[in-house]
Structure 1
Amino acid sequence: MAFRSVFDGGALRTELENAGISPHFVPLIWKYVVHNPGCDLGDVPSLPSAAYPLLRSKFRPLTSSLSSSLDSKDNLTTKLLIRLQNGNSVEAVIMRYDTRLGKYDGKPRPGGPRSTLCISSQVGCKMSCKFCATGTMGFKNNLSAGEIVEQLVHASRITHIRNVVFMGMGEPLNNYAALVEAIQIMTGLPFQLSPKRITVSTVGIIHAINKLPDDLPNVNLAVSLHAPDQDIRCHIMPAAKAFPLGKLMDSLHSYQKNTQQKIFIEYIMLDGVNDQEQQAHQLGKLLEELHVVVNLIPFNPVGSSSCFRTSSEQNVKKFQSILRGVYNIRSTIRQEMGQDISGACGQLVVNLSKERSAGRASLLTDIEDLHI
């Protein structure tokens, strides 16, 4: 029998209500499990007596387990391999920053050490982006809201998590209901993450973007654009055929009008593909009427068979200077983290066949981190 995660909030509330138990006990249950992840649900204090047999028969404190954690040499990145109840695995990545070491608009930034967790929403991915290792897995299954939240629970045992980015394995907006439920749990008790410190990344699922302002207000949106025209997008991102660039831009204009929030644009720099001056001007014209931050991402190798090369530092800087100088678009060049543990952008993938034969996952990896 497969048990539900106690962090599958909708299922837990429904079961409690059907038993005549107030759902107000849910945050209490979650708080106890977060502080006692190895507990028996019968140990949760101060619940109605009828709650205990119900919890034990249908739920588990955690349905996933932390198979391994791997630290980068600089100790700024930790990659977590998390084994799910169905035998599949996903990866999550902890990235550590000290905001005082950087500058914003030429001024010292406030704050101090903080940790960002990059979370997976699916096992594998349907999008098949040619520059991303996760796409080589194909699509296995969606994660439940509880399985998404459990990644935060596992990471929180290692360090305090302040920011969450949905930039791990999978396309978050293709698992929309679970994504919304998971974020609602993360922003409530006991986690109480600020919605402004949560970012959802998408390749551009238009109908889901249109729903975000109502379902997840104040959560940040990041769009993996990666090219300034439809032909190049379709070449490197086959799923873009279903989401024409013109219609995607219309949805982003509508999103920004409704939310008044800036949009993060993810742009991976591929040598000779999308990194030329002409494309910088195309991108600038495409985005100049939006309030955006363009995050230029150095391409990370995803195996010897990759047909792409990393753009030269000179091309990246020239590209950035055009966006800034000609179009007054704020642009950053991503600080790459975790390459030595395959935890950088585009590298996340779990080799499931080797996992089954060796008893653990063989990590090739990728995950994006966004500076917020």
Structure 2
Amino acid sequence: MAYRSIFDASALRTEFENAGINPQFIPLIWKKVLQNPNCKWEEILSLPAAAYSLLNSKFVPLSSTLHSVAHSTDAVTSKLLVKLKSGAFVEAVIMRYDSRKGQYDGKPRPGGPRSTLCVSSQVGCKMGCKFCATGSMGFKSNLSTGEIVEQLVHASRISNIRNIVFMGMGEPLNNYSALVEAIRMMTTFPFQLSPKKITVSTVGIVHAINKLHHDLPNLNLAVSLHAPVQDIRCQIMPAARAFPLEKLMDALHLYQKNSQQKIFIEYIMLDGVNDDELQAQQLGKLLETLEVVVNLIPFNPIGSTSQFRTSSEAKVKYFQKVLREKYNIRTTVRKEMGQDINGACGQLVVSEQDKLLATSTAPLTDIEDLRF
């Protein structure tokens, strides 16, 4: 039979309740697995006798394995290749920051070192964005709750994760139920991340945005807009045809009214496509009635045959200037991390080389095996 991940929370809770076992023991099991992912169920003391037979017959500590980790040359980014029980692969990326570097409002920045984990929600993606490598895989399957959470488990053995961004492989809102359950797990014991430290990125699945705040309050929403008018969006993001810009903006206004939170707007800078002054003006007018932060993203190459080029630094700066000075929209330029390991924005794709590495390398089972 197919064993489930112990982090498939609803399945585990249902099995416990059906067997008459108090679900209050579940957090203890999760804590022990975090401490030792290779543990045997009998090593977890103080469980009811019925729990051991149930766990042995239906669950495993982890259903996925960490097969390889690639580190960027500057040591601030690590890309994890994770093999699922189906034999498919997904990627997750650890990005390390030090918020003390630089200044904010003329003063030294508070805080210190922190790590953000970029999580995948699907194997491949059906959105087909033409500037994104994941889209070239097509859609393979949704990840289960456990497979999403296990990316955090694997990453936590490498770095202390403080922030989560659902910006990896897949469209998170197309795997809505598993996404919601995974985030609820991440924000409770034993992970206890703040919802304000979790960001979900979407191309604009309107019906899911309309219920997101109710299901996951205090979450950060990021929208991959990438163009200020519908025709350009459809050219570079085919899925945009199903979610007209007018309906998307209505959904964002309603989301902000209900949540009272800023919305993050992601905008990839494509030379000669969406980066001239006209588009900057159109974007400013589109967003001026919302409270947003626009994140301008330099395009990352996804192969020698790519039809797109990266906008020049001068164009990016001028685009930012228009949004800031004319429309008073807070605008940042994303610092790209992990390009040399294909771990930057838009570059996540499981290549044949990745698969070869994964199948020819013994699974990593201990932190010492990572060999920093």
TM-score above 0.5 = yes
Q: Structure 1 358/43 Cα, relative in aligned 2: closer, same or farther at 3 Å? A: closer
Structure 2 runs not aligned, ≥5 long: 362-372
Other-structure match for 2:48: 48
Output the CA distance in 1 between the equivalents of 2:72 and 2:292.
31
For 1:234-253, what aligned pairs fall within 5 Å after superposition?
Answer: 234-253=234-253
For 1:19-34, what aligned pairs fall within 5 Å after superposition?
Answer: 19-34=19-34
Output the CA distance in 2 between the equivalents of 1:51 and 1:61.
14
**For residue 179 of structure 2, what is the amino acid of its counterpart?**
L
Output the CA distance in 1 between the equivalents of 2:351 and 2:233.
27
**For residue 129 of structure 2, what is the amino acid of its counterpart?**
C
**For residue 257 of structure 2, what is the amino acid of its counterpart?**
K
Output the CA distance in 2 between the equivalents of 1:357 and 1:38.
23
Other-structure match for 2:308: 308
Other-structure match for 1:256: 256
Task: Note if contact 1:354-1:360 (Cα within 8 Å) is conserved in structure 2.
Answer: no
The answer to whether 1:132 aligns with 2:111 is: no
Other-structure match for 1:15: 15
Task: Note if contact 1:198-1:220 (Cα within 8 Å) is conserved in structure 2.
Answer: yes
Output the CA distance in 2 between the equivalents of 1:68 and 1:353.
12
Other-structure match for 1:203: 203
Task: Note if contact 2:122-2:172 (Cα within 8 Å) is conserved in structure 1.
Answer: yes
TM-score by length of 1: 0.95
The answer to whether 1:3 aligns with 2:3 is: yes
Other-structure match for 1:91: 91
**For residue 234 of structure 1, what is the amino acid of its counterpart?**
C
Other-structure match for 1:334: 334
TM-score by length of 2: 0.95
SS at match of 2:49: coil
Output the CA distance in 1 between the equivalents of 2:360 and 2:174.
27
SS at match of 2:201: strand
Output the CA distance in 2 between the equivalents of 1:324 and 1:357.
45
**Alpha-carbon deviation of 1:24?**
1.0
What percent of counterpart residues are identical? 74
Q: Structure 1 96/62 Cα, relative in aligned 2: closer, same or farther at 3 Å? A: same
Output the CA distance in 2 between the equivalents of 1:261 and 1:222.
11
Q: Provide, for residues 219-264 of structure 1, a one-character-per-residue CA deviation record: whole Å limited to 9, x for no partner.
A: 1000000000000000000000000000000000000000000000
The worse-fitting range, judged by mean Cα deviation, of 259-268 and 101-110 is 101-110
**For residue 329 of structure 1, what is the amino acid of its counterpart?**
I
Q: Provide, for residues 107-131 of structure 1, a one-character-per-residue CA deviation record: whole Å limited to 9, x for no partner.
A: 3221000000000000000000000
**Alpha-carbon deviation of 1:184?**
0.3
The answer to whether 1:271 aligns with 2:274 is: no
Other-structure match for 1:355: 355
| Aligned Cα root-mean-square deviation (Å) | 1.3
The answer to whether 1:346 aligns with 2:346 is: yes
Task: Note if contact 2:68-2:357 (Cα within 8 Å) is conserved in structure 1.
Answer: no
SS at match of 1:70: strand
Output the CA distance in 2 between the equivalents of 1:208 and 1:288.
24
For 1:272-311, what aligned pairs fall within 5 Å after superposition?
Answer: 272-311=272-311
The worse-fitting range, judged by mean Cα deviation, of 104-113 and 231-240 is 104-113
**For residue 171 of structure 1, what is the amino acid of its counterpart?**
E
Task: Note if contact 2:67-2:358 (Cα within 8 Å) is conserved in structure 1.
Answer: no
For 1:50-199, what aligned pairs fall within 5 Å after superposition?
Answer: 50-199=50-199
**Alpha-carbon deviation of 1:41?**
2.0
Output the CA distance in 1 between the equivalents of 2:107 and 2:215.
35
Output the CA distance in 1 between the equivalents of 2:189 and 2:311.
44
Other-structure match for 2:214: 214
**Alpha-carbon deviation of 1:42?**
2.5
**Alpha-carbon deviation of 1:52?**
0.3
**Alpha-carbon deviation of 1:309?**
0.2
SS at match of 1:173: helix
Task: Note if contact 1:137-1:351 (Cα within 8 Å) is conserved in structure 2.
Answer: no
**Alpha-carbon deviation of 1:102?**
3.0
SS at match of 2:147: helix
**For residue 32 of structure 2, what is the amino acid of its counterpart?**
Y
**Alpha-carbon deviation of 1:45?**
1.5
**Alpha-carbon deviation of 1:2?**
1.7
Output the CA distance in 2 between the equivalents of 1:358 and 1:181.
29
Other-structure match for 2:320: 320
Output the CA distance in 2 between the equivalents of 1:250 and 1:191.
34
The worse-fitting range, judged by mean Cα deviation, of 350-359 and 218-227 is 350-359
Structure 1 runs not aligned, ≥5 long: 362-372
**Alpha-carbon deviation of 1:40?**
1.3
Output the CA distance in 2 between the equivalents of 1:18 and 1:121.
29
Q: Structure 1 105/354 Cα, relative in aligned 2: closer, same or farther at 3 Å? A: closer
**Alpha-carbon deviation of 1:104?**
2.9
**Alpha-carbon deviation of 1:172?**
0.2
Output the CA distance in 2 between the equivalents of 1:358 and 1:110.
40
SS at match of 1:117: strand
**Alpha-carbon deviation of 1:356?**
6.2
The worse-fitting range, judged by mean Cα deviation, of 97-106 and 240-249 is 97-106
Q: Provide, for residues 257-281 of structure 1, a one-character-per-residue CA deviation record: whole Å limited to 9, x for no partner.
A: 0000000000000000000000000
Task: Note if contact 1:88-1:352 (Cα within 8 Å) is conserved in structure 2.
Answer: no
